[in-house]
Amino acid sequence: MSLAHQPQPLKSSVSLGALTISPPVVLAPMAGITSPPFRQLCRRQGCGLAVTELTSAEGLARGQAKTLHFLETWPAERPLAAHIYGRDPDIMARAAAVAESLGRFDSIDINAGCPVPKIMRRGEGAGLLRDPNHLKRVVQAVCAAVKLPVTVKTRVGLAANRINISEVAQALEEGGAAAIFLHGRVAAKRHAGPPDWSLIARIKQERSIPIFGNGGITSADEALRLWRENGVDGIMIGRAAIGNPWLFAEIACRLENRPWTPPTPAERVEALLEMLDGLIKLAELEQRHRRRLRYSAEESACMQFRTHASLLLRGRPHQRVLMQRLMSFHSVADVRATLHEIFC
pLDDT digit string, tens, across residues 107-126: 999 999 999 999 999 999 99
Q: Which residues of 55-71 are buried (b: 16+ CB within 10 A; e: fewer)?
A: bbbbbbbeeeeebbbbb
Q: Please check whether residues 157 and 26 belong to one and the same domain.
A: yes
The 10s digit of each residue's pLDDT in 198-243 is 999 999 999 999 999 999 999 999 999 999 999 999 999 999 998 7
* Domain-terminating residue out of 255, 277, 312: 255
Is 177 in contact with 134 (CB distance < 8 Å)?
Answer: no
What is the model's pLDDT at position 84?
Answer: 98
Total count of domains within the chain: 2
Among 255, 277, 294, where does a domain finish? Answer: 255
Residues 160 and 24 occupy one common structural domain: yes
Are 215 and 278 within one domain?
no
Examine residue 283 and state whether it is found in any structural domain, yes or no: yes
Residues 96 and 203 in one domain: yes
> By residue range, what is the domain housing residue 323?
265-343
Kindly state whether residues 86 and 219 are assigned to the same domain: yes
Residue 1's pLDDT is 37
Please state, in angstroms and rounded to a whole number, the distance separating the CA atoms of residues 153 and 124. 12
Provide φ and ψ at 36, rounded to 5°. Answer: -50, -45
Do 310 and 162 share a domain, yes or no? no
> What per-residue confidence (pLDDT) applies to 3?
47
Question: Binning pLDDT at 50, 70 and 90, where does residue 29 land?
Answer: very high
Structural domain includes residue 270: yes
Q: What confidence tier does 316 reach under pLDDT thresholds 50, 70, 90? A: low
> Of the candidates 255, 275, 302, which is a domain's last residue?
255
Mean pLDDT of 99-103: 97
More confident residue, 153 or 8: 153
Residue 271 sits in the same domain as residue 225: no
pLDDT (average), residues 9-26: 93
Q: Are residues 8 and 154 in the same domain?
A: yes
pLDDT reading at 313 higher than 70: no
Residues 303 and 226 in one domain: no
Tell me the catalytic residues. Answer: 114
Average pLDDT over residues 41-51: 96
pLDDT band at residue 266 using 50, 70 and 90 as cut-offs: confident
Same domain, 38 and 149: yes
Mean pLDDT for the stretch of residues 290-312: 72
> How many Å apart are CA 285 and CA 256, to the nearest integer?
39
Please tell me whether residues 251 and 269 are part of one structural domain. Answer: no
Residue 281's alpha-carbon distances to 4, 236, 276, in angstroms, are 46, 27, 9
Q: Are residues 17 and 136 in the same domain?
A: yes
Residue 320, in any domain of the structure? yes
Q: Return the higher-pLDDT residue of 89 and 66.
A: 89
For residues 329 and 337, the model is more confident at 337
Query: What is the domain-level CATH number for residue 147?
Result: 3.20.20.70
Does a structural domain hold residue 260? no
Q: What is the pLDDT of residue 2?
A: 44
Q: What is the pLDDT of residue 321?
A: 73
Asked whether residue 249 is assigned to any structural domain, the reply reads: yes
User: Which of 5-9, 75-79, 149-153, 265-269 is predicted with the least confidence, judged by mean pLDDT?
Assistant: 5-9
